Amino acid sequence: MDNYEYVTLRDRHELKPAAAAWFHLKWGVPEEAYLKCMEAYLARDIEYGWYLCLDGGRIVGGLGVIENDFHSRKDLSPNVCAVYTEEEYRGRGIAGRLLNMAADDLRSKGITPIYLVTDHTGFYERYGWEFLCMVRSEDKPEITRMYIRR
């Protein structure tokens, strides 16, 4: 059994700078964009949150929930984004637990369904997600898979 700590950023607001830097390193999205979303969440301007898995205080997994994850279907909102688990921690159920934590938290606030875009097949289905449709990226010609969790 693991001894990981699963928290929301509201639980551990002091992690905001480290979390923004960590997500930036994983996805290449500017740190300022993460900080802006995190600050809105911490100020309770929005209920879309940030969820982290810690191992001895170190961020080893995380995800966020934002209005739109850079796709053309603005009506499909909110979106889980930036799902990531450090490579050496994969296969331990961390991402699944974070996905369930986010879904349960949002459902408790009356926010359902939730969506995510991904190129993965087979992974999200294990955690209650269903393929919904293909969507176009906001500023690219590519299309990608959209999933829903009701």
CATH number for the domain harbouring residue 82: 3.40.630.30
Domain around 49: 5-112
**pLDDT tens string 8-44:** 999 999 999 999 999 999 999 999 999 999 999 999 9
Cis ω for the linkage preceding 30 (within 30 of 0): no
Decide if 126 is inside a domain. no
Which pLDDT score, from 0 to 100, does residue 68 have?
Answer: 82
Examine the pLDDT at 139 and tell me if it is beyond 90: no
Decide if 49 is inside a domain. yes
**pLDDT tens string 62-99:** 999 998 888 889 999 999 999 999 999 999 999 999 99
What are the beta bridge partners of residue 80? 65, 116
Examine the pLDDT at 141 and tell me if it is beyond 90: no
Decide if 120 is inside a domain. no
Q: End-to-end CA distance of the chain, in Å?
A: 29
Cα distance between residue 76 and residue 71, in whole Å: 9
Decide if 133 is inside a domain. no
Secondary structure (3-state) at 1: coil
**pLDDT tens string 92-127:** 999 999 999 999 999 999 999 999 999 889 999 999
Packing angle between helix 31-42 and helix 16-27, nearest 10 degrees?
A: 140
Decide if 82 is inside a domain. yes
Decide if 129 is inside a domain. no
Q: What DSSP assignment string belongs to 21-37? A: HHHHHHH---HHHHHHH
Examine the pLDDT at 142 and tell me if it is beyond 90: no
Which pLDDT score, from 0 to 100, does residue 1 have?
Answer: 53
Decide if 14 is inside a domain. yes
Model pTM?
A: 0.93
Burial class (CB in 10 A: 0-12, 13-18, 19+), 24: middle
In the predicted model, what is the mean pLDDT of residues 129-140? 89
Q: What DSSP assignment string belongs to 38-79? A: HHHHHTTS----EEEEEETTEEEEEEEEES--SBS-TTS--E
Q: How many domains does the chain have?
A: 1
User: Amino acid identity of 52?
Assistant: L
In the predicted model, what is the mean pLDDT of residues 126-139? 91
Decide if 62 is inside a domain. yes
